[in-house]
Amino acid sequence: MLYARLSVTKEESVSIARQLQSCRRYAEARGWTVVGEFIDNGVSATANRPEDRAGWAALLAATDFDAVIIWKVDRLARRVLDFLHADEALQERGAGLVAVEDPIDMTSPQGRAFAVMLAVFGEMEAEAIRARVRAARIQLLKDGRWAGGGTPYGYLPTANPTGPGWVLVKDPDRHPWLAEAVSRALNGTTVNAITTWLTTEGAPLPKGSVARRKSGATTWNRQTVNGILRNPVLAGMTPHNPGRAKSGKRVDPFAVFRDENSEPVVNDDLAIISIKEFAVLQKLLDARNTPQSRKRSERKPTSPFLSRVARCNDCDVFLCRGTNQQRPTLYCPSCRQTLSRSAFDPYLIHRLLTERGTEPLGTSTVEAHWIAAGSSDTARREILLTQLHSLRIRRGIVGRYFDANRVLLEWRQPETPAAGAQL
């Protein structure tokens, strides 16, 4: 087996194609037969453990291989524990790990010891890179310059008139819309109502957004407006939370750059409202942060099929039902990870009928009860619960479509009947 990974394509990066080419040559030199090639492109080893990557998970699901060839140790992992866990997973399958550019061979004790040392150095290098990036960002913020990233709505980056780098200024086209949206929110107007107003009036979308047209008007969505109203730049503050992991919990709107006295650093030239008004605005938004707090006419009904069924693997809480751009989703109320139900529900139903359809249930079978339930999601849920032991959803790679590897599913043992099930 061959495995290659690349997080970001840069001029100095070794491409996926070059990594695989080197691995093939190594296998040919040793007289090995390559039975499969797996890649993770655009995936950070620092932010994603090997078992959470689609390519590595697919490799582990394969059979009949004796070794995995990688280009370098850091292509597999940037943390020692991640490397050891990945190697342990291979050992359980009776396979070894070999790196082309690093003089290691996990099939020997000496090679294993040296590989651990290389993993330690890889982790040190990754931490050193993070430290340099954090230091550079802090210095930019101290100098009052823009540190890059997504440009907040209503503002523009421009060349620093007093020195090197860039600074933010108000966007003359979008800033009036931003100021009016903030004013309406402070006066109690809901996010949905502001979204409708921006769409109806044809307010320009954030730069980089794909404009969607509906009846000739630019369409905004609630998530975009909510994010704009939670940006601390509204009070002249700069978001700064370098310790937050990618795809982690919701950003704290008060995680901002602060001075040596822990007071927020405020740029009055960018501020629309005061810090006190910003705090009031966040409380108003939090009060309407759940679907139940919205007007009934604004709610979209969702299927009860998975109500209090699936749990977040990280937070151990039930996933809630919701919608994202009018599509049904499950989301964790703690860490905010989401899972689209458009693909997940059919996947789960297919597994239920394929793997448990012939199991006895009452005087009939699971499949027979399922057919009898028809389109009733409540009845279908009861059938699912009779067979389900555990259903947990783990965090996936940000930006990817449905990934079956996120689903941790365990069926009940046949001899263990579901307590209190009535069908």
| In the chain, domain spans | 2-137, 155-297, 304-411
Structure tokens at 212: 């969607």
Please report, for residues 199, 217, 220, 232, the alpha-carbon distance to residue 213 in angstroms, rounded to integers and kept in the order given: 10, 6, 10, 30
User: Alpha-carbon distance 106 to 62, whole Å?
Assistant: 20
Instruction: Please state, in angstroms and rounded to a whole number, the distance separating the CA atoms of residues 352 and 301.
Output: 24
pLDDT value for 131: 75
The predicted structure's pLDDT at residue 210: 46
C-alpha span between 223 and 282 (Å, rounded):
15
Under DSSP, the state recorded for 297 is G
pLDDT at 97: 84
CA angle 163/166/170 to nearest 5° reads 120
Angstrom distance (rounded) from CA 309 to CA 339: 14
pLDDT of residue 313: 92
Q: What does the alpha-carbon distance between residue 288 and residue 399 come to, in Å, rounded to a whole number?
A: 26
Query: Hey, CA dihedral for 189, 192, 195, 199, is it positive or negative?
Result: negative
Could you tell me which residues are beta bridge partners of residue 159? Answer: 166
Which CATH number describes the domain made up of 155-297? 3.90.1750
Q: Which of 192, 198, 189 lies closest to 284, judged by CA?
A: 189
CA distance 115 to 380: 51
Per-residue pLDDT of the chain (423 residues; tens, 9 = 90+): 899 988 875 555 688 999 999 999 999 998 999 999 999 988 888 778 888 898 999 999 888 898 899 998 888 887 777 888 888 888 888 888 888 887 776 656 666 676 677 667 667 776 777 677 677 677 767 777 777 777 889 998 888 777 788 888 899 999 999 999 999 999 989 898 999 999 999 899 987 654 444 444 468 888 889 989 999 989 888 887 544 444 444 557 778 777 778 888 888 888 899 999 999 998 888 876 554 445 444 555 788 999 999 999 989 999 998 887 778 889 888 888 889 898 999 999 999 999 999 999 989 999 999 999 998 999 999 999 999 999 999 987 655 578 888 999 999 986 544 445 454
Buried b (16+ CB within 10 A) or exposed e, 343-379: ebbeebeeebeeebbeeebeeeebbebbeebeeebeb
**Tokens, residue 396:** 């996936």
254 close to 233: Cβ distance less than 8 angstroms: no
Phi, psi torsion values for 334, nearest 5 degrees: -95, -60
Per-residue pLDDT, 400:
57
Token code pair at residue 74:
């850091």
Task: Please tell me whether residue 312 adopts helix, strand or coil conformation.
Answer: strand
- Alpha-carbon span 165 to 256, nearest angstrom: 21
Closest CA relative to residue 27, chosen from 77, 84, 66: 66
Q: Tell me, what DSSP letter sits at residue 1? A: -
Question: What distance in Å separates the CA atoms of residue 98 and residue 306, rounded to the nearest whole number?
Answer: 43
In CATH terms, is domain 2-137 a member of 3.40.50.2000? no
DSSP SS3 for 381: helix
Q: Regarding beta strands 320-324 and 311-312, do their DSSP bridges make them parallel or antiparallel, or are they unpaired?
A: unpaired
What is the predicted pLDDT for the residue at 248?
Answer: 41
Identify the helix (H) or strand (E) that includes residue 55.
helix 54-61
Tokens 């396979």 belong to residue: 95
CB of 313 within 8 A of CB of 327? no
Confirm if 291 and 322 have CB atoms less than 8 A apart.
yes
**Maximum C-alpha span of the chain:** 82
Q: Which of 132, 52, 118 is nearest to 79 (CA)?
A: 118
CA pair distance 61, 56, nearest whole angstrom = 9
Residues in the chain, total: 423
**Separation of alpha carbons 211 and 231, rounded Å:** 22
Query: Can you name the residues that pair with 4 across neighbouring β-strands?
Result: 39
